[in-house]
Structure 1
Amino acid sequence: MKWIASVFGVGFLKPGPGTWGSAVALPLAWGIHQVGGFWLLLNVTIFVFLTGYIAVQRLTAGQAHSDPGWIVIDEVAGQWVALFPVSYGATMMSIDVLRLWPGWIAAFVLFRLFDIRKPWLVGRADRHGGPLGVMLDDIVAGVFAAVGVVVLGTLYHVVLI
């Protein structure tokens, strides 16, 4: 379970294990997208969320601190949610997902910003505590980042082009 929660040991990298978890999520998302596009990424994200929830539940049972820094499976799931607009857009346009590279950068930066700062609903989910709080705050941060990616993409295509 520790290998799942730490994403094969990535969570033990220092400094900033959450950022390392988000960074490793990027090539994983690319590979998943290459194999099956957005729909596979969506399904694998759901699977990782559920698997992460179970791993966190088992690893933190009876502990005072339910979100140790080395648990980064939540960052992977949240980062993938942040990448949904990029993957969906590439799938719908039948283009190489790397052509949308600004979206990758925006998704990473925005997700890390929302995950670290924990504004509004992200913080509320984090305060929920337990395994659900561990996993859910990153999903909410991913949703906020995904909305930001869509807004930035729209601004670029509507205003700048």
Structure 2
Amino acid sequence: MRIATLIGTVCGVGYLKPAPGTWGSLAALPLAYGLHQLGGFLLLAAATLISVGAGVWAAEVMTRGKEDLDPSEFVMDEVAGQFTALWAISYPAWAHDIDITALWPGWIAAFVLFRLFDVWKPGPVGWADRQKGATGVMMDDLIAGIMAAIGVGLLAFLSHRVLGF
């Protein structure tokens, strides 16, 4: 249980108040930066997949026998979702040999869009949030991350191709 709690709360970040999900998303930003710097998009993608697997396991252990299947201190789902949202800047930076810090508007957009979709829970995010069990706990944030990544891509297209910035 102790290791599962450490993973699920992302080393205690989930205990920060208010809004532990926002703190979890914020914690993901320097982690993603470090992963990208160490191994580019491929390492960030691998870390995302590992965080999903570890998150499902930790959620199962942390919620076993409890009524609350998605406790507020569990923020590994936010980390995995935020990592997914950041794929929209990590991949282009890696593929085109761009310093990822040069894509700073994308960092802001990925964070804001992910938090917006995670809190608002539109369409498929809301559907996933209503699913029971550890997979459902992780799935809504992954879908929010995918939607945020698409949003970042659309904003980049609008900015660079349409507006010419």
Normalising by structure 1, we get a TM-score of: 0.99
Show the 5 A alignment for 1:55-66.
55-66=58-69
Tell me the residue number matched to 2:112.
Answer: 109
Show the 5 A alignment for 1:36-75.
36-75=39-78
- 1:32 deviates by 0.1
User: Residue 90 of structure 2 is aligned with which of 87, 90, 100?
Assistant: 87
CA distance in structure 2 between the aligned counterparts of 1:129 and 1:65, rounded to whole angstroms: 11
Tell me the residue number matched to 1:22.
Answer: 25
- 1:93 deviates by 1.0
Q: Does 1:99 align with 2:117?
A: no
Map Cα deviations across residues 19-69 of structure 1 (whole Å, 9 max, x no partner).
000001000000000000001100110001000100000110121110000
- 1:85 deviates by 1.1
Q: Does 1:139 align with 2:142?
A: yes
- 1:129 deviates by 1.8
Q: Write the letter of the residue equivalent to 1:128.
A: Q
Q: Write the letter of the residue equivalent to 1:77.
A: A
Q: Mean alpha-carbon deviation: is it higher for 60-69 or for 16-25?
A: 60-69
Structure 1 segments, 4+ long, off by >6 Å, are none
For this pair of structures, how many residues does the alignment match? 161
Q: Write the letter of the residue equivalent to 2:74.
A: I
CA distance in structure 2 between the aligned counterparts of 1:61 and 1:112, rounded to whole angstroms: 27
CA distance in structure 2 between the aligned counterparts of 1:40 and 1:10, rounded to whole angstroms: 22
CA distance in structure 2 between the aligned counterparts of 1:46 and 1:135, rounded to whole angstroms: 11
Secondary structure at 1:69's aligned position in 2?
A: coil
CA RMSD, 1 decimal: 0.5
Tell me the residue number matched to 1:150.
Answer: 153
Normalising by structure 2, we get a TM-score of: 0.96
- 1:3 deviates by 0.9
Unaligned segments of structure 2, at least 5 residues = none
CA distance in structure 1 between the aligned counterparts of 2:119 and 2:77, rounded to whole angstroms: 13
- 1:160 deviates by 1.4
